[in-house]
Structure 1
């Protein structure tokens, strides 16, 4: 009835701080399956690791041996007892955790209560639908949905409330608009890819989880328009038709597809949508592409299928209740639930008693996990980093770059692509300043469509990595606001920017002055996928130039015969090896200032100049010891 649980051992170890809460007994001799009680102090004194659960609970349930349940019984008995206790006393089990991605600008504790219902840990197995699908003959997509609703009426009602359906929703992390629920792609957000939905519905809504959103009259209360198959197909054959307002391609065997549905997969989430956002593979999201479909551990430690990867489904992180999906993007305002690395790894993720673990855990107060563990993004598929709409409509000879990507299309203008990109770093407190349709542009500079908020002096801000997509797009030369042009059956048909501007702004309910210009814009995109194994994270020396020369760590720490300080500070991603494997990272080989500390507000390398709030005596500045001050 239920699928197995992915047990987060490191999180439990980090939060509980006591192995013997679970590993509560030790065999007294070989073959002993009852053992004797053991404490963490006893294990530490003996320098002994606890035994695995299966050492005692290796046999199935036996009614004559009630004191030793089987492995599954032991798990459920111990897990549920502990979770119930934690439910009653929310913070008894560990430190309060903080995360910018979770709380936004106001510090508040994460709820560390453990789940006590089955579905909080287990996913339900999907039954065979061969006999449940009551369809015959030549059917339409809405016929499939009606059949689904005959059993899943509540699920249909739930979908109507989601941002995936409405393309707008609650936006508590958009600065100045925290209480609004109308922000989203459907209404008033704008980007520097294909710009805006207004007037372009049939093409843009080919990515919608519904059928027939052809114009502003689409009925969002009609459950029969929900496309169940785009998320739940298990055959791999279901595809949307690009300009068909969400309808699938023709000549599909919809009955067979409906009979083979299941939980969403990374292909239905990714290849049907998020991996190919913006009209192509890796165009928008620098950290998501078709390479995640069947990646290896070195490409993404969580989603890797081979090489020891964890083979996560999207839902393993993006927990879902009532079709509302946790997680949020810098690029869109709607939020249906928080998500953070700390939910699994806690705010002190580096487990160990060595001094390096202490230092790394101190880093997490100021630096996001992604900053070290995503040293480069778009490792296998180039992503678009610049889009110049002012060249669209011109007769320029098409060409391709070194990645084989087009640098010009008459419909869309000129592009720049990059593979294995070094992120740009910003202070981020979890909130975003967002350009909305009708806002005034920055006349003497770059208009930022999304900008992560945060600053050097804010203790709730951390350094995060971002993809920044820059471009040049059309703007009203008189009203000084960006234009939402009609591209589909507009500019792409007649190559007339003036008419496209008038028609597009009319669809958006705004006036067009009759004069246009092209202005520079920038859009920030968060990076959370393509997490590399810990051995390939940024090394200490790649961020701290002060550690690239002797005595390395010895400037502050006494040398130890069992620790090679030079090897320790250089332990991490090897860009030279990646370049030899064909990745475009030659410019990063030997780099020792990976993070520009001065641009982030520091007066220099924090090891030498001190941190944000304390100047600790951990180094030298102009041959003078840094004083200890608050």
Structure 2
């Protein structure tokens, strides 16, 4: 009897082991991002629906509104239309203000205000040449810039369709947005491909997974992550946003603990997903890392990657390691007219908020762009020169005239100009790499690690010293600052 019981016991143990193994697998981390990805949209063939002819952009919009009566009014409530966000209290300030492309300064092309006729070639509207543009007129909305699929649509000054564009053919091509629609503006910010962002450029029109795992392996559209409701597109660059509400997060689709290895999951409270999964930026196309306007206007040998008379000196770099800093989703922001305390010091155009004591802050990867741009030596604030058009610097190479033409009530020009160094932070969220190409343990921890842990506020490598909870660095629950 005992002999017969032994095989039964063995079989029972084997079955229990199999059941236990499957139970453990089921208890593993749950990360099913596909459940959050919207299903593909089947395009409607508009060739038989749109008749034309069309004499201008607004006539196309009027035709669109016959079937999509709410589209224009929805878009007009967004920052893609107003170039300004919702009114918020700015970090470190008392005032409540709406900030955006139309009223902020950067250290690339500097300011849209006096140059709006040129800048609005990337506006989702028709006719923004000056302050008289009618933001309430629905037919001024440009539906084509986001929905045309002809591949031949171009915009010119004031956002008007370029000369020679066949508006009927373009209108009949419309469909769901693609990477090419978004990239027409966002890949070319700052005056050319790859100039501004470091993680957005023309290589992403048809990328391999070497460029971006979501777009290359899964053929994601931008809207798969920037999931749009009533034409409101979530997500906003730190260059024009200073608060959290419109952010797109990895955890919109992925679990907070997506790794099988629990040691990796222990990093997610301190290290942004992007830090490990975007180990390099500007993988194929060089991005602009520095722009010195002070050398512009000289008759020097020209090269689009080193010097142009109209724009000054540049530094470009390709396949670059990001810089790392704390970021809680908010940012300090230089506003037009802000006084510069010491022009001999670098002026931050924006600055990520956060530190090791802030529970909301994580270590993020950044492209850091360094500039040198014109400022008022008497009033000590950055200036907004006219660069484009009659009297603009690109035409006459006269800084004094450009500054006079571009002055605003917030940033008047005294007649005395100089140049000051500036810095601008661009957090990275694209060009995501699969786990095999993400940062490995020894790339951060060890004598040759990419992290400057002391600059980040640690006593040393937290693998040996302990993380910020263990060492007492984590002091606040939220809202910590540098």
Normalising by the smaller structure, the TM-score range is 0.7 to 0.9
| Residues in 2 aligned to 1:148 and 1:181: alpha-carbon distance in whole angstroms | 34
> Taking structure 1 as the reference length, what is the TM-score of the superposition?
0.68
How far is the alpha carbon of 1:124 from its aligned partner? 4.8
> Taking structure 2 as the reference length, what is the TM-score of the superposition?
0.88
| Residues in 2 aligned to 1:360 and 1:428: alpha-carbon distance in whole angstroms | 20
User: 2:204, 2:215 within 8 Å by CA — same for their partners in 1?
Assistant: yes
Going from structure 1 to structure 2, the CA distance change for 1:173 and 1:128 (only over 3 Å counts) comes to farther
For residues 47-70 of structure 1, what are the alpha-carbon distances to aligned partners after superposition, in whole Å with 9 as ceiling and x for unaligned? 48999xxxxxxxxxxxxxxxxxxx
For residues 513-563 of structure 1, what are the alpha-carbon distances to aligned partners after superposition, in whole Å with 9 as ceiling and x for unaligned? 1101100000000100001110011111111117xxxxxxxxxxxxxxxxx
Q: Which residue of 2 aligns with 1:596?
A: 452
How far is the alpha carbon of 1:122 from its aligned partner? 4.3
How far is the alpha carbon of 1:365 from its aligned partner? 0.9
Q: How does 1:175-574 map to 2 (within 5 A)?
A: 175-176=91-92, 180=96, 182-187=98-103, 189-241=104-156, 244-270=157-183, 272-304=184-216, 309-333=217-241, 337-350=246-259, 352=260, 357-399=261-303, 405-443=304-342, 444-489=344-389, 490-506=392-408, 510-545=411-446
How far is the alpha carbon of 1:337 from its aligned partner? 2.9
How far is the alpha carbon of 1:459 from its aligned partner? 1.7
Residue range with higher mean Cα deviation, 424-433 or 438-447: 438-447
| Residues in 2 aligned to 1:378 and 1:290: alpha-carbon distance in whole angstroms | 10
* Partner-residue secondary structure (3-state), 2:20: helix
* Partner-residue secondary structure (3-state), 2:158: coil
Going from structure 1 to structure 2, the CA distance change for 1:321 and 1:42 (only over 3 Å counts) comes to farther
Root-mean-square deviation (CA, aligned residues, Å) is: 2.5
In structure 1, the gaps of 5 or more residues are 1-40, 52-93, 98-113, 400-404, 547-591, 617-630
For residues 555-574 of structure 1, what are the alpha-carbon distances to aligned partners after superposition, in whole Å with 9 as ceiling and x for unaligned? xxxxxxxxxxxxxxxxxxxx
| Residues in 2 aligned to 1:413 and 1:44: alpha-carbon distance in whole angstroms | 69
How far is the alpha carbon of 1:139 from its aligned partner? 2.1
* Partner-residue secondary structure (3-state), 1:415: strand
How far is the alpha carbon of 1:256 from its aligned partner? 1.4
For residues 297-355 of structure 1, what are the alpha-carbon distances to aligned partners after superposition, in whole Å with 9 as ceiling and x for unaligned? 12110010xxxx011010110010111111121111277733101111121111x2xxx
How far is the alpha carbon of 1:126 from its aligned partner? 3.4
User: 1:43, 1:50 within 8 Å by CA — same for their partners in 2?
Assistant: no
Instruction: State whether structure 2 residue 154 is matched by structure 1 residue 154.
Output: no
Whose radius of gyration is greater, 1 or 2?
A: 1
User: 2:281, 2:319 within 8 Å by CA — same for their partners in 1?
Assistant: yes
| Residues in 1 aligned to 2:441 and 2:340: alpha-carbon distance in whole angstroms | 40
Aligned residues: 449
Higher RCO by CA contacts (8 Å cutoff, separation 6 or greater): 2
Going from structure 1 to structure 2, the CA distance change for 1:387 and 1:171 (only over 3 Å counts) comes to farther
User: 2:118, 2:388 within 8 Å by CA — same for their partners in 1?
Assistant: yes
